[in-house]
């Protein structure tokens, strides 16, 4: 009997679980339990979960390395898109409730308040990562350019922590905690960023095959090219 694919089984469960924070916020809004400042509650809830999913997405590669279960990388794109989903809700709440779609007022706010400036910058940088997360965009951009573009996630993470830190001003416990988690995740991911260069130095030569892992299915293709001088493993990252 063929064994069930655990990731295929987990995907709909993870998808449903990722929607729970939005469903809970909607339920609280319907019953009028958003507190004395509903706008602030909505903005903080959606912003917090955008950060949570960003950190969860960055944790996939270290978790794969620590557990040896490579198939979990197939969940990474979905988790990254949920980060963008909650970031979009966060931005939309700010645009609608704080500025009522007044673009000029929004522009003044971005220029005047540093925490808004870095938060808006993080959202802008997150958009191309979400838009190019598909297998088709990976093929269109090419592995090297795609990987270079998606390294912006580290800049996004740093800007989000600054946004949170400058927003709270005095009560810095949580932004500092999230900042430490971000630094730890980046440190754990660092070996995977350096490994392709070491592998290339060790193997060298021409006409070797490049192994490319594409998309959620983890499809592996052998690419032979006399110009290729070393082996790289390119993985989907958001």
> Is residue 116, in this structure, part of any structural domain at all?
yes
Number of domains the chain is built from: 1
Strands of the sheet containing 233-234, edge to edge, are: 219-224, 209-214, 233-234
DSSP H or E segment with residue 142: none
User: Is residue 164 included in any domain, yes or no?
Assistant: yes
Nearest Cα residue to 65 out of 203, 162, 179, 187:
187
Strands (E), 68-208: none
Residue 1 belongs to some domain of the structure: no
pLDDT tens across the length of the chain (238 residues): 567 788 888 899 999 999 999 999 999 999 999 999 999 999 999 999 999 999 999 999 888 888 888 888 889 999 999 999 999 999 999 999 888 888 888 888 888 889 999 999 999 999 999 999 988 998 999 888 998 999 999 999 999 999 999 999 788 999 999 999 999 998 887 755 555 444 444 444 433 333 333 344 444 444 444 333 443 444 434 4
Residue 33, classed as helix, strand or coil, is coil
Domain that holds residue 159: 6-201
Closest of 82, 95, 83 to residue 43, by C-alpha? 95
Q: Is residue 215 part of a domain?
A: no
Answer for the pair 115, 166: CB distance below 8 angstroms, yes or no. yes
- Closest by CA to 47, choosing from 160, 182, 129, 131, is 160
Residue 180 resides in a domain: yes
Are the C-beta atoms of 236 and 214 separated by less than 8 Å?
Answer: yes
Residue 212 lies in a domain: no
So what's the pLDDT on residue 3? 74
Q: Is residue 213 assigned to a domain?
A: no
pLDDT confidence of residue 228: 37
Q: Tokens 């946004």 identify what position? A: 163
* Any domain includes 227: no
Residue with tokens 């909650």: 86
């Amino acid at each position: 009997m063929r064994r069930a694919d655990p990731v295929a089984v987990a995907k709909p469960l993870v998808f449903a679980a990722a929607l729970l924070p939005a469903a809970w916020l909607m339920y609280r809004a319907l019953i009028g339990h958003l507190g004395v400042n509903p706008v602030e509650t909505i903005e903080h809830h959606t912003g917090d979960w955008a950060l949570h999913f960003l950190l969860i997405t960055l944790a996939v590669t270290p978790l794969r390395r620590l557990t040896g279960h490579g198939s979990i990388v197939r969940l990474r794109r979905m988790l990254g898109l949920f980060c963008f989903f909650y970031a979009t809700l966060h931005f939309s709440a700010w645009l609608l409730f704080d500025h009522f779609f007044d673009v000029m007022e929004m522009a003044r706010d971005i220029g005047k308040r540093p925490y808004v400036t870095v938060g808006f910058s993080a959202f802008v940088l997150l958009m191309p990562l979400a838009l190019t997360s598909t297998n088709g965009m990976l093929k269109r951009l090419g592995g090297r350019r795609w990987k270079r573009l998606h390294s912006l996630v580290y800049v996004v993470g740093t800007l989000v922590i600054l946004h949170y830190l400058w927003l709270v001003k005095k009560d810095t416990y949580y932004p500092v905690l999230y900042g430490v988690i971000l630094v730890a995740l980046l440190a754990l991911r660092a070996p995977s960023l350096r490994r392709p260069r070491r592998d290339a130095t060790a193997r060298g030569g021409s006409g070797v095959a490049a192994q490319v892992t594409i998309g959620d299915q983890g499809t592996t293709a052998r690419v032979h090219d006399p110009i290729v001088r070393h082996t790289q493993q390119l993985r989907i990252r958001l």
